[in-house]
């Protein structure tokens, strides 16, 4: 006798939900790394952004997000920071795509 345990999730949801979680974790780790890099290599710029940490206030976090997603960080001419910001931007866009696809799946096939 074979017991089958159904979760009620579609095949796409079984892929999209873990992928979204992995992208969110990747984005969080990249953000933390960039904030540490700013703190260690560019303390004046780090202070100008409000001395951000991983658990900063929303206002400080948004200023850092705008700085890193925009072109503000390019004035530092740090190729490693540029690479991290590019990867973070890519993870952010992919996360948004996965979230839109997940919402579509939920609305299309129901909870």
Copy the structure tokens of residue 55: 């658990």
Encoded tokens for 4: 């089958």
Average pLDDT over every residue of 24-29:
94
**Can you read off the two tokens belonging to residue 2?**
């074979």
Would you say the pTM of this structure is higher than 0.95?
A: no
Contact 31, 88 (CB under 8 A): yes
Contact 32, 54 (CB under 8 A): yes
Over the stretch 29-87, which tens digit does the pLDDT of each residue have?
999 999 999 999 999 988 888 888 877 788 888 888 888 888 788 888 889 999 999 99
């Amino acid at each position: 006798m074979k017991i089958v345990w159904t979760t009620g999730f579609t095949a796409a949801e079984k892929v999209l939900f873990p992928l979204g979680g992995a992208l969110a974790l990747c984005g969080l780790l990249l953000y933390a790394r960039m904030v540490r890099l700013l703190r260690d290599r560019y303390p004046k710029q780090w202070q100008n952004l409000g001395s951000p940490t991983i658990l900063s206030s929303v206002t400080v976090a948004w200023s850092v997000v705008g700085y890193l997603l925009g072109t503000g960080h390019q004035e530092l001419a740090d190729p490693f920071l540029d690479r991290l910001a590019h990867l973070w931007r890519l993870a952010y866009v992919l996360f948004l795509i996965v979230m839109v696809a997940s919402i579509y799946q939920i609305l299309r096939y129901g909870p």
